[in-house]
Amino acid sequence: MNATYPAAVKVDDKTSALSIRELGSFLAGGRTVTLSDRPCQRVKVARNGPDRIVDLNGDYVTGQCYVQFVRLSDRNQPFPVMFWHGGAMSGVTWETTPDGRAGWQMYFLRQGYDTYVCDAHERGRAGWSPYPDIYKDAPIFRTSNEAWSLFRFGPADGYQTDPKQRVAFNKQQFPVGYFDQFAAQFVPRWTDHAEESLTAYVEALRRTGPVILISHSQGGNFALDIVQRVPELIKALVVIEPAAAPRFTAESLAKAATVPHLFVWGDFIDDAPLWQGYRSVVDPYVTNLQNAGGCVQVFDLPREGIRGNSHVPMMDTNSDEVAGLIDGWLRELCL
């Protein structure tokens, strides 16, 4: 894998300094669960240290999400941007791209927005809890093979272990030479925790106050659901390639429709039956939102003349161009 890593992290020297008041983080949501009747283990916990008794009975805090904030000294936008990653991912999605360019967190900071980068419940720095004691099931994992087609870097049979043998779509914007650096970002996920994940995210929003929410893939599913529940905490919602549309009632749809929505779709969907299926569920929801009076915009990037984007436009070589489109849409809202 090391052969496909960038030689060194590139530094974005061309841009001016950011003036920052504070960097930090907090955990939001969560509850205490008590386990009992598990056998104790004698474990050598620290290498070169003595064995000690590990007793897994007791209290666990479970269900929290992680929120990392950057507060500018001179923000010029009234609302911060909060980022929600997709399935099998973490907040790393929004940081440096796999090929070492500044990501969307930096982009939006430079445009004058405070940022919150989240790790959903059970992902990344949010931690996860024992199964089958607290979580019911085992997690699932993302293989590189699956990711290659799921993220629409290339055809389903285009992935090979040897980077030189991989087949990408023509004019692919994702920096496929750095795919293994991307695959190193994957984290395990559970498939039955949506409600707990939403609860933690709502708690995060209550702590931060109203935000502009930029969400990706499964994070977009969460966002479309949550905006029906707490529209007052989301000033504008950007959904990058959601994999599902939420259930709704007339009442919950009307709530969602009070918040401007922007949907963003990349290229190669015609080559990806899975994504055609996902989109066929989302497009009618867009129509429903519009019919409910919502301010809803769809950026279908190829139709805008922007070709070659994968499922992760925030990492594609034209990531700044796509971010610029989103920022332009946000500015026109005059929040």
Least distance in Å: CB of 26 to a copy of itself?
5
Least distance in Å: CB of 325 to a copy of itself?
22
Q: Does 223 bind a copy of itself (CB under 8 A)?
A: no
Number of Cα atoms under 13 Å in the Cβ half of residue 268: 24
Strands 65-72 and 81-84: unpaired
Of the candidates 77, 135, 207, 317, which one interacts with a copy of itself according to CB under 8 A?
Answer: 207
Nearer to a copy of itself, 125 or 307 (CB): 125
Q: Between residue 92 and residue 121, which ones bind a copy of itself under the rule CB under 8 A?
A: 92, 95-96, 100, 102-103, 105-106, 109, 119
Q: Between residue 153 and residue 182, which ones bind a copy of itself under the rule CB under 8 A?
A: 159, 161, 180-181
Cα distances (angstroms) measured from residue 185 to each of 42, 95, 196, 233: 33, 11, 23, 29
Cα distances (angstroms) measured from residue 215 to each of 43, 116, 255: 41, 12, 19
Q: Does 73 bind a copy of itself (CB under 8 A)?
A: yes
Q: Between residue 270 and residue 329, which ones bind a copy of itself under the rule CB under 8 A?
A: 274, 277-278, 281
Q: Does 125 bind a copy of itself (CB under 8 A)?
A: yes
Instruction: Return the H-helix or E-strand segment holding 104.
Output: helix 104-110
Nearer to a copy of itself, 240 or 306 (CB): 240
Of the candidates 244, 254, 295, 298, which one interacts with a copy of itself according to CB under 8 A?
Answer: 244
Cα distances (angstroms) measured from residue 104 to each of 24, 55, 56, 236, 268: 18, 43, 40, 17, 22
Least distance in Å: CB of 61 to a copy of itself?
4
Q: Does 141 bind a copy of itself (CB under 8 A)?
A: yes
Quote the DSSP letter at residue 189.
Answer: B
Q: Between residue 3 and residue 32, which ones bind a copy of itself under the rule CB under 8 A?
A: 6, 8-9, 11-13, 17-27, 30-32
Where does this chain touch a copy of itself (CB under 8 A) — which range of 89-97, 261-269, 313-321, 324-332? 89-97
N-to-C CA span, the chain = 45
Nearer to a copy of itself, 10 or 171 (CB): 10
Q: Does 186 bind a copy of itself (CB under 8 A)?
A: yes
Least distance in Å: CB of 140 to a copy of itself?
5
Rounded distance between C-alpha atoms, residue 217 and residue 120, angstroms: 13
Rounded distance between C-alpha atoms, residue 195 and residue 319, angstroms: 31
Q: Between residue 47 and residue 66, which ones bind a copy of itself under the rule CB under 8 A?
A: 47-50, 52, 54-61, 64, 66
Rounded distance between C-alpha atoms, residue 200 and residue 188, angstroms: 18
Rounded distance between C-alpha atoms, residue 329 and residue 119, angstroms: 25
